[in-house]
Amino acid sequence: MAVNMKGKSLLEINHLTLEEIYQIFDLSTSLKQKRLIGEPHSVLEGKKLGMIFSKPSTRTRVSFEVGIYELGGYGMFFNQNDLQLKKSESISDTAKVLSRYLDGIMIRTFDHQDVVDLAKYGSIPVINGLTDLHHPCQVLTDLFTILEKRRTLKGLKLAYIGDGNNMAHSLLHGCSKVGMNIAIASPSGYKPLDFIVKESKINAKYMGSKIEIFDKPIDAVKNADIIYTDVWASMGQEKEKEERKKKFAGFQVNSKMVQHAKEDYLFMHCLPAHRGDEVTDEICDSQNSVIFDEAENRLHVQKAIMALLM
């Protein structure tokens, strides 16, 4: 039976039930098919989505804008300097004002609490398009992509090699919610936050899956069905780039490392990739790589999210 998600916000994957996650996947498949055969699907006719960006973006920006347009609605882009937000106006007042004009808000920013507050004080759905803590739209898309390629999620092993950042957090929540095993390898000082690991362990226990945190990449990659990595310095950490390069030496996903995974492993990356740092060209462009399918699927999955919430 369909679950009613109308009016809800999407701040992090951990707030979704398993039924809601699969409902998003089912609708993503159907919208993807409709787009492919050219069947109109204007289910958000006349709806307006505000898109607030305090950080740069290629995929999120373009896929949300194209997505709302294809659903019959209209997207409005605001960069950090376009709004009074957090300069001469509080988040709560901004949330109340925008709720009088718009039908939904997608926001990419630094502090996750800002997104929580926007949803708390507004009366329209808020979709998290990346904060320092989470990237739920990306990971829902990643799980959808794995499901397309492998027909199942439960019991698969995903190895995440690199920084314990927003991607690691949303992958921990996402994999544990759907019963996938996840093994993370990060250098000391760069592990995912304890409270996210704890929340994910609760999910994993319920689903009968495993969460492992390692120091050495090879321990995580052993027998993996999926190898995932992300940049070593995220947006906002540009000044730490050189320092991080040293700390992450040995964490590059390359042809030597992938030998420890299953032969038909999938290589995934949210992109943008810093080729030559966290991953080599050879791996990015290999037969195992599905990075551009992930990028395409952002469009289909986010259209489903908007259609269900707005």
Q: Which does 167 bind (CB under 5 to 8 A by kind): ligand NVA, ligand CP, none?
A: ligand NVA
Of 138-157, which residues contact ligand CP (CB under 6 A)?
Answer: 138
The secondary structure element, H or E, covering residue 212 is strand 211-214
Binding status of residue 66 toward ligand CP by CB under 6 A? no
Task: Write the CB contacts of 61 (distance below 8 Å, at least 6 apart in sequence).
Answer: 51, 53, 77
State the catalytic residue, choosing from 23, 138, 252, 302.
138
- Among residues 54, 168, 192, the alpha carbon closest in space to that of 111 is found at 54
One residue of 59, 173, 177, 303 binding ligand CP per CB under 6 A: 59
Q: Which does 58 bind (CB under 5 to 8 A by kind): ligand CP, ligand NVA, none?
A: ligand CP
Q: Locate all alpha helices (DSSP H) within 87-239, ordered by sequence.
A: 91-101, 112-121, 136-150, 166-177, 194-207, 217-221
Strand partners, 128: 107
Judged by beta carbon, residue 56 or residue 250, the one nearer ligand CP is 56
Residue 300, classed as helix, strand or coil, is helix
In the chain, the amino acid numbered 237 is Q
Instruction: Tell me the angle at which helices 291-309 and 136-150 cross, rounded to the nearest 10 degrees.
Output: 120
One residue of 231, 257, 304, 307 binding ligand NVA per CB under 6 A: 231
Measured from the CB of residue 6, what is the shortest distance to ligand CP in angstroms? 25
In the chain, the amino acid numbered 139 is V
Residue where the block lists tokens 């995220």? 234
Whether 52 and 106 have beta carbons less than 8 Å apart is answered as yes
Binding status of residue 58 toward ligand CP by CB under 6 A? yes
35 as an active site residue: the answer is no
Judged by beta carbon, residue 43 or residue 115, the one nearer ligand NVA is 115
Judged by beta carbon, residue 130 or residue 161, the one nearer ligand CP is 130
Cα–Cα–Cα angle for 147, 134, 137, rounded to 5 degrees:
40
131: left (phi over 0), alpha (psi -120 to 50) or beta: beta
100 as an active site residue: the answer is no
**Structure tokens given for 83:** 């709004």
Of 144-203, which residues contact ligand NVA (CB under 6 A)?
Answer: 165-167
Judged by beta carbon, residue 69 or residue 121, the one nearer ligand CP is 69
From 16-24, 154-162, 185-193, 226-234, span contacting ligand NVA (CB under 6 A): 226-234
Find the length of the chain. Answer: 310
Q: Which does 234 bind (CB under 5 to 8 A by kind): ligand CP, ligand NVA, none?
A: ligand NVA
Strand partners, 27: none
Q: Which does 307 bind (CB under 5 to 8 A by kind): ligand NVA, ligand CP, none?
A: none
One residue of 29, 212, 235, 247 binding ligand NVA per CB under 6 A: 235
Of 237-276, which residues contact ligand CP (CB under 6 A)?
Answer: 270-272
Whether 225 and 183 have beta carbons less than 8 Å apart is answered as no
Judged by beta carbon, residue 56 or residue 276, the one nearer ligand CP is 56
- Among residues 98, 39, 50, the alpha carbon closest in space to that of 74 is found at 50
Binding site for ligand NVA (CB under 6 A): 130, 165-167, 230-231, 234-235, 270
Catalytic residue numbers read 108, 135, 138, 230, 270, 298
Binding site for ligand CP (CB under 6 A): 57-60, 130, 138, 270-272
